[in-house]
């Protein structure tokens, strides 16, 4: 941690803080579910410490940008947002207020002090492992310091973060993400995560169970375990020994009131036999898996340092489908990785056809500073990447439409989550994570209902509710 100016004592700052009324906090979150989860944890922490949340940045006394480094030009987008916030802060100052501006997340971690140099409007830069220090760092800022805290401490930050209140949980809905693992040791040659999130760290089973129990008590019914490399999970179990993700899923399946479990994002190398067996044995573990392959070409997989072959990936898919035949698989793809030939690219199209993915995210390769692939001289021309991406997306869309069309006429269990687009409509999720629109009373939010799928739209399924299956509060999670 480094401080750009020495502040007055924390004690003095606390006295100043406590003398003020509740202030307003606005958090803008970019990127993945892990960032959304982190944003919730920051809100939970600060709303216990003299802030209330606001959705209006102009009203805020503290603005936090929780940034993501994955997308193209992520850093420049943050600076352009900071330009807008600078104007907003200028207006606030004219009105006699002085909002604090903080940059958090992966761009904060990667850029560090450079952010304060380039954007003087920023008062605090805080890396993703350090959110539990927010109250103390805010005290430093309030005493006139500019704070940059981007250490990657090994200590479990989660143990220091406040649990969400019932009100906050209910406002977020009947599904929740729970981070169980952070960081990555894989070092794919295109990816910044190992540098921005640090080495793989897993939370102990007991703290995850306690968090899930807290969520379920407040009405959450579906839990998605998240981590940059979630299936590399290795947390401390009850007897102090390290346990894997399959053990954790089996334990969480016994928490009364949990209707559904999912996990994301996984690496093919960490799909062990016990995890595959969990898909066979745990009825509440949904038959849906996001398992990025990135490319169908062995040459590209080596260049990306993915450390598995195309054949190994396909073999893994076969074993997953043997365990759970209706498994819906999704993936990420990168096209135009350095030196990718037309033949390599066709291997990617073929693997989409072979697996028949239910959906996928696909991107043009774009160099991330500091990663090995960014320095390669054999970059692919942008027009080639654009053309390949369009062909890949056509192929993915074809399979996604086929997967969705196959659901027509089937009865699917839908966890009803919130009001739909039209009056009287609710939207929920199928076991395969597809949004499903049904006509149903709002009293059914949080329940699982069976719907006959009647039609398919561009992004959703449409269904007619035909029965409710009340869930027993205990042992709901154990499968057959
Ligand atoms: S496994 Fe995922 S998070 Fe880790 S380096 Fe590769 S792409 Fe990045």
| Ligand 1 probe mutation, 106, 183, 184, most atoms within 8 A of CB | 184
For residue range 261-318, what is the model confidence (pLDDT) as tens digits? 999 999 999 999 999 999 999 999 999 999 999 999 999 999 999 999 999 999 999 9
Residue 67 has pLDDT above 90, yes or no: yes
For residue range 243-266, what is the model confidence (pLDDT) as tens digits? 999 999 999 999 999 999 999 999
Ligand 1, atom 1, residue with closest C-alpha: 186
Structure token pair of residue 391 = 């062909």
420 phi, psi to nearest 5 deg: -90, -165
pTM here is: 0.86
For residue range 70-109, what is the model confidence (pLDDT) as tens digits? 766 778 889 999 999 999 999 999 999 999 999 999 899 8
Of 342, 333, 396, 391, nearest to 365 by C-alpha is: 333
For residue range 349-380, what is the model confidence (pLDDT) as tens digits? 999 999 999 999 999 999 988 899 999 999 99
228 lines ligand 1 (CB under 6 A): yes
Can you tell me whether residue 294 is helix, strand or coil?
strand
Answer whether 182's CB lies under 8 Å from 197's CB: yes
Q: What's the pLDDT at 249?
A: 98
| Cβ neighbours of 236 (radius 10 Å) | 16
Averaged pLDDT score across all residues of the chain: 90
Q: What's the pLDDT at 16?
A: 43
Cβ-based neighbours of 125, under 8 Å, separated by 6 or more: 102, 103, 104, 108, 111, 112, 113, 115, 116, 147, 148, 149, 150
153: left (phi over 0), alpha (psi -120 to 50) or beta: beta
Of 153, 134, 235, nearest to 197 by C-alpha is: 153
For residue range 104-133, what is the model confidence (pLDDT) as tens digits? 998 998 889 999 999 999 999 999 888 888
Residue 18 has pLDDT above 50, yes or no: no
Q: What's the pLDDT at 160?
A: 75
Residue 477 has pLDDT above 70, yes or no: no
Residue 320 has pLDDT above 90, yes or no: yes
For residue range 206-227, what is the model confidence (pLDDT) as tens digits? 999 999 999 999 999 999 999 9
Structure token pair of residue 383 = 């027009």
Residue 13 has pLDDT above 60, yes or no: no
What value does the mean pLDDT take over residues 13-29?
A: 69
Q: Using N-to-C axis directions, what is the helix angle for 205-217 and 245-252, rounded to 10°?
A: 30
What confidence category does residue 34 fall into, taking pLDDT thresholds of 50, 70 and 90?
confident
Q: Rounded to the nearest whole angstrom, what is the distance from the C-alpha of residue 177 to the centroid of ligand 1?
A: 19
Cβ-based neighbours of 117, under 8 Å, separated by 6 or more: none
Q: What's the pLDDT at 154?
A: 61
199 lines ligand 1 (CB under 6 A): no
Residue 3 has pLDDT above 60, yes or no: no
For residue range 413-424, what is the model confidence (pLDDT) as tens digits? 999 999 998 899
| Ligand 1 probe mutation, 228, 231, 232, 334, most atoms within 8 A of CB | 228
Answer whether 157's CB lies under 8 Å from 68's CB: no
Among 148-162, 230-244, 304-318, which is the least confidently predicted range? 148-162
Q: What's the pLDDT at 156?
A: 65
DSSP 203: -
Of 444, 438, 426, 437, nearest to 459 by C-alpha is: 437
């Amino acid at each position: 941690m480094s401080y750009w100016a020495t502040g007055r004592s924390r004690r003095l700052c606390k006295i100043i803080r406590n003398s003020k009324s509740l202030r307003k906090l606005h958090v803008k979150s970019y990127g993945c579910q892990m960032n959304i989860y982190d944003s919730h944890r920051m809100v939970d922490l600060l709303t216990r410490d003299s802030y209330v949340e606001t959705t209006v940045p102009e009203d805020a006394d503290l603005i936090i940008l929780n940034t993501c480094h994955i997308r193209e030009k992520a850093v420049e987008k943050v600076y352009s947002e900071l330009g807008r916030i600078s104007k907003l802060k200028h207006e606030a100052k004219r009105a006699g207020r002085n909002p604090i501006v903080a940059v958090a997340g992966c761009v904060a971690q990667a850029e560090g002090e450079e952010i304060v140099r380039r954007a003087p409007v920023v008062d605090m830069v805080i890396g993703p492992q350090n959110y539990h220090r927010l109250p103390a760092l805010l005290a430093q800022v309030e005493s006139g310091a500019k704070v940059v805290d981007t250490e990657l401490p090994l200590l479990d930050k989660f143990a220091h973060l406040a649990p969400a209140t019932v009100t906050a949980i209910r406002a977020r809905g009947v599904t929740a993400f729970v981070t169980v693992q952070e960081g990555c040791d894989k070092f794919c040659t295109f990816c910044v995560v190992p540098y921005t999130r640090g080495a793989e760290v897993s939370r102990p089973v007991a703290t995850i169970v306690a968090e899930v129990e807290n969520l379920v008590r407040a009405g959450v019914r579906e839990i998605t375990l998240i981590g940059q490399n979630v299936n590399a999970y290795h947390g401390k179990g009850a007897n102090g020994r390290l346990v894997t993700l399959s053990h954790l899923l089996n334990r969480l399946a016994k928490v009364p009131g949990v209707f559904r479990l999912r996990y994301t994002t996984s690496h093919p190398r960490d799909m062990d036999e016990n995890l595959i067996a969990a898909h066979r044995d745990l009825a509440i573990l949904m038959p849906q898996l996001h398992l990025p392959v990135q490319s169908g070409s062995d040459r590209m997989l080596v260049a990306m340092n993915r450390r598995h072959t195309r054949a190994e990936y396909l073999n893994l898919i076969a074993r997953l489908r043997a365990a759970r035949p209706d498994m819906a698989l999704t993936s990420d793809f990168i096209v135009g990785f350095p030196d990718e030939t037309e033949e390599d690219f066709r291997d990617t199209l073929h693997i989409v056809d072979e697996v028949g993915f239910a959906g996928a995210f696909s991107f043009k390769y774009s160099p991330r500073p500091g990663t090995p692939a960014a320095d390669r001289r054999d970059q692919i021309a942008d027009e080639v990447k654009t053309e390949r991406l369009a062909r890949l997306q056509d192929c993915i869309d074809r399979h996604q439409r086929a997967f969705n069309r196959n659901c027509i006429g089937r009865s699917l269990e839908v966890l009803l989550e919130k009001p739909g687009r039209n009056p009287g409509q609710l939207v929920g999720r199928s076991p395969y994570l597809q949004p499903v629109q049904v006509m149903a009373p709002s009293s059914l939010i949080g329940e699982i209902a069976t719907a006959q799928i009647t039609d398919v739209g561009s992004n959703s399924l449409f269904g007619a509710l035909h029965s409710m299956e009340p869930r027993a509060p205990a042992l709901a999670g154990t499968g057959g």
